[in-house]
Amino acid sequence: MRFLRAALLILMFSGLDVPLTRADSLADPLAEPLATANAGALAEPQEPSSGPPPGKGPLTAGGYQHGFRTGIDGGGSFATSTGFAAGQIGYPVGEGYILGGQLAWQGDWYSFFGQNGVTLPDQNRPWGTIQSFAASVSLGRRFGDWWVNGAFTTRFSYEDGASLGESFNPGGILAAQYTFSPRLKLGGGVLVNARMEEDPLIIPIPFVYWEIIDDLVLSNSIAPDAYPRGPGLEIAWRPNPTWAVAVGGRWEYRRFRLNNSGPEIRSGGVGEDEGVPLWVRVTWRLGDHLRADVLGGASVANRLRLADASGDIIRSVGTDSIPYVGAFLSYRF
């Protein structure tokens, strides 16, 4: 199972928006076990071949996504709502170096209905509201056609009322990208990430940016700025400078500390939410600084897990596909 997760991650790893400056090459701090990044954010961001130039200063971004109610294997159902907020900044330091920083928040609100396979018999839900807070620092430099970057992240992900100290998950990433031409940039890196009650995750990660033709791009670095778990692999059609349509998918995996409520076996345990979202995304660029995204799709191959404080699985159930919609807005100064 870990091999399959790693393989999916390698195929579908994610990044921030293509038209960012190098100063904004930051790791995404919220995904678990992707805890250090959108790895694609560590690739040198690409300027699009067409379209207005973005702002060159700090970025502020936010978004909301709703997952509609869907069935859980063996009975019951659940729904989710997720909010996102992030801020980024980057400055030149020394000769050719860019120092970046990012603060980010994510809130997941789960609603469970009926008795189901992931909820313990004397509870009405396995978990409720999940909060994630993170801070990242990165340092990047260009060497000819190479762009090299590294980042370190501190992140906390926990159910309301859980121990903050037991929710800490540090991580780091080192990456490099080579510019073959303005239309083709490829690279890779290594991700090292601590996981709650699990062995550290150490995997290779790729970066891709390929303008197949003038209006068609294949990349894992074109996403809404506030989308912390990243866009995965997308193919995007950009017929003019102001808007684009993309189709994509990714593997998504969340892991968080539970509070001490409920039965002793569940107290201070760990929750997991895993799936493969597929989507259609529409992006509008309103001038040089403002970007808006709407997306919709469905998450497939979903699984919910409940583990005790030692990481041993207590419950593990699949769910039906989860239809969802989302909207994101960002402003780059």
Q: Given a cut of 80, is residue 58 above it in pLDDT? A: yes
Phi, psi of 252 (to 5 degrees): -125, 135
Q: Identify the pLDDT of residue 65.
A: 97
Where is 324: in which H helix or E strand? strand 322-332
| Per-residue pLDDT band at 277 (split at 50, 70, 90) | very high
Structure tokens at 164: 């903050």
29, 140 contact by CB (below 8 A): no
Chain-wide mean pLDDT for the chain? Answer: 83
Domain count, the chain: 1
| Per-residue pLDDT band at 229 (split at 50, 70, 90) | low
Which has the closest alpha carbon to 117: 67, 152, 77, 57? Answer: 77
Q: Which has the higher per-residue pLDDT, 61 or 251?
A: 61
Q: Given a cut of 60, is residue 30 above it in pLDDT? A: no
126-180 tens-digit pLDDT: 999 999 999 999 999 999 999 999 999 999 999 999 998 899 989 999 999 999 9
* Rounded mean pLDDT, 207-221: 92
Structure tokens at 277: 């979202």
Q: Which domain holds residue 156?
A: 2-332
* Residue 48 φ/ψ region, left for φ over 0, alpha for ψ in the -120 to 50 degree band, beta for the rest: beta
When mean pLDDT is compared across 17-26, 82-91, 184-193, the lowest value belongs to: 17-26
Q: Given a cut of 90, is residue 302 above it in pLDDT? A: yes
Domain of residue 92, CATH code: 2.40.160
Q: Identify the pLDDT of residue 121.
A: 85
* Rounded mean pLDDT, 217-226: 83
Phi, psi of 166 (to 5 degrees): -90, 5
When mean pLDDT is compared across 1-5, 71-75, 211-215, 243-247, the lowest value belongs to: 1-5
